[in-house]
Amino acid sequence: MSTESLTHGLVPQRLARIRQLMSREGIHALLVPSADPHLSEYLPGYWQGRQWLSGFHGSVGTLIVTGSFAGVWADSRYWEQATQELAGSGIELVKLVPGQPGPLDWLAEQTPEGAVVAVDGAVMAVASARTLGGKLEERGARLRTDIDLLKEVWTDRPRLPDQPVYAHLPPQATVSRVEKLAKLRESLKDRGADWHFIATLDDIAWLFNLRGADVSFNPVFVSFALISQQQATLFVALDKVDAALRAVLEQDGVTLRDYSEAAAALREVPGGATLQIDPARVTVGLLDNLGSGVKLVEGLNPTTLAKSRKSLADAEHIRRAMEQDGAALCEFFAWLESAWGRERITELTIDEHLTAARTRRPDFVSLSFNTIAAFNANGAMPHYHATQESHAVIEGDGLLLIDSGGQYLGGTTDITRMVPVGTPTAEQKRDCTRVLKGVIALSRAKFPRGILSPLLDAIARAPIWAEQVDYGHGTGHGVGYFLNVHEGPQVIAYQAVAAPQTAMQAGMITSIEPGTYRPGRWGVRIENLVLNREAGSSEFGEFLAFETLTLCPIDTRCLEPSLLSQDEKDWFNAYHAEVQRRLSPLLEGDALQWLNTRTMPI
């Protein structure tokens, strides 16, 4: 069923039914976040409640419903998409702008005294519930987290995912689960914690050296974990773990219990015990199961920082994965250039051929996210995704933006490149060159070890701001190791909170992806992944620098070289020389010829 038919039919009916239930329960406002009990970015269908109720398919957004109002809060990446998908639904788009009230602030301001705001506590972070609850209390209102209204109206709700769990094995798994558990227990002892509860799926997959396919594009599985100095319990649907893997886990000291038993296990934590949790990554509904005598130690999950710091051995596997991914891209781009004028090419064709090229590469597992192939105006939507019902034919003149990535046993990739179609305009070339200048500026930076990552954002934006241009998304996100393509704790975005856990450390992998978006015309983004490397020390302390991991030419036909300084040209030519050196042994024929042509110096 198309988005349009949902918007103009089922969504208003669903809103009417929800409002009836709200009235029955005495609820003034219902909050529906984009979340699950694991506070994941990408959600299994079972927890896509905000999408089901609103008809807005963006991966991030918050829905609020009152008796007389319904709105979806979304950031600039989704404004065009949300405008189209919400049209005629009775739901407004509320644009999230830095410095303006977000959905929780709006609720705190708009909820009248004595009113009740409801949210399903199973999908709301402890920290968020505390913040909203405190603000409502100041107004004489109340937050209710013990009810799930969607359960009554979502009669065709998808089942929980049931994909099998499998081991991530050596050589790509460079540290055993026994070693990881031992280091985690040392960290808990240092923090004075007896127990640790983990709900985040990538932390669990990393800690136990396990992978799955319960969430599209992220090789994780729906689960919880509860760790003490003596026990390690993994809560997962038992039929997803075969007998051989279960035996290996038991040998390593890991006990399996059914996924549904996590709440009961929390109730079993003895009074007087101390439990380590991350209030931003555990839901209030889960913690409500703890006895009143359990004391909390709150802070970042130790595994979050540990998995962000890839080892030297990990880095070697990632470099090999980047070479295979770059070779696949060269084969794809060689096909694309040969197909111009001979075949009908659409945004869907791009996705099909690029996926096929990656699939042929060793150790490829899956895509790391939905490929974004966006021509001209579609490129102005940073999270655009072509569908059978709505996609562009690649013809005429303009810019084609391709943002894609793969999951390999030895690493996760994420790359964006611009492709000239016909003859790009001078303004389009200026936009591409300006964005490239931002990439180069940050790629060349050295910075103190431990600098808070949001502070680096201005380095990439400076060449873009200089022309009074900006973009609404962050410049960089962390990337996992055959795990989530978006990984914390570091993020390069001035809009993010510069918290202590965002400190840059050696081994972290981050994207660099500035952009420029002109609604209705075109969008530009160029993206590489980089690795934090030690860069020496001085009397002022230790410093880090970026190693560019991504290997693929940046098409010079989209650029205006006269706008680049000599230093920028030197970086660009050195990067292309490295791309040519590393990829040429993996290619032959048209793909090798394409690589050699596209890496010629400027």
Identify whether residues 332 and 297 lie together within a single domain. no
Identify whether residues 335 and 475 lie together within a single domain. yes
CATH code of residue 488: 3.90.230.10
Residue with tokens 């105006």: 377
361-395 pLDDT tens trace: 999 999 999 999 999 999 998 878 888 888 989 99
| Structural domain includes residue 499 | yes
Identify whether residues 370 and 501 lie together within a single domain. yes
Task: Tell which of 249, 275, 301 closes a domain.
Answer: 301
| Structural domain includes residue 377 | yes
| Structural domain includes residue 46 | yes
| Structural domain includes residue 417 | yes
Q: What is the 3-state secondary structure (H, E, C) of 187-241?
A: HHHHCCCCEEEECCHHHHHHHHCEECCCECCECCCCCEEEEECCCEEEECCHHHC
Tell me how far the alpha carbon of residue 99 is from its chain's centroid.
Answer: 23
Report the alpha-carbon distance of residue 146 to residue 122 in Å, rounded: 8
Beta bridge partners of 547: 531
CATH code of residue 251: 3.40.350.10
AA identity, residue 426 = A
Domain extent for 118: 3-153
| Structural domain includes residue 161 | no
| Structural domain includes residue 158 | no
| Structural domain includes residue 296 | yes
Task: Tell which of 153, 187, 218 closes a domain.
Answer: 153
Identify whether residues 391 and 504 lie together within a single domain. yes
What is the structure's pLDDT at 8? 54
What is the structure's pLDDT at 302? 96
256-314 pLDDT tens trace: 999 999 999 999 999 999 999 999 999 999 999 999 999 999 999 999 999 999 999 99
125-167 pLDDT tens trace: 999 999 999 999 999 999 999 999 999 999 999 999 999 999 9
Identify whether residues 207 and 189 lie together within a single domain. yes
Compute the average pLDDT of residues 32-44: 93
| Structural domain includes residue 67 | yes
Identify whether residues 56 and 187 lie together within a single domain. no
Number of structural domains found in the chain: 3
430-453 pLDDT tens trace: 999 999 999 999 999 999 999 999
Identify whether residues 283 and 316 lie together within a single domain. no
Identify whether residues 493 and 555 lie together within a single domain. yes
Classify burial at 119, counting beta carbons within 10 Å of its beta carbon; exposed 0-12, middle 13-18, buried 19 or more: buried
Least confident of 177-181, 211-215, 378-382: 378-382
Identify whether residues 257 and 182 lie together within a single domain. yes
Task: Tell which of 121, 153, 185 closes a domain.
Answer: 153
Least Cα distance to 329 among 587, 43, 54, 501 occurs for: 587
Identify whether residues 281 and 333 lie together within a single domain. no
Tokens of 251: 């040998």
Identify whether residues 260 and 392 lie together within a single domain. no
Identify whether residues 191 and 88 lie together within a single domain. no
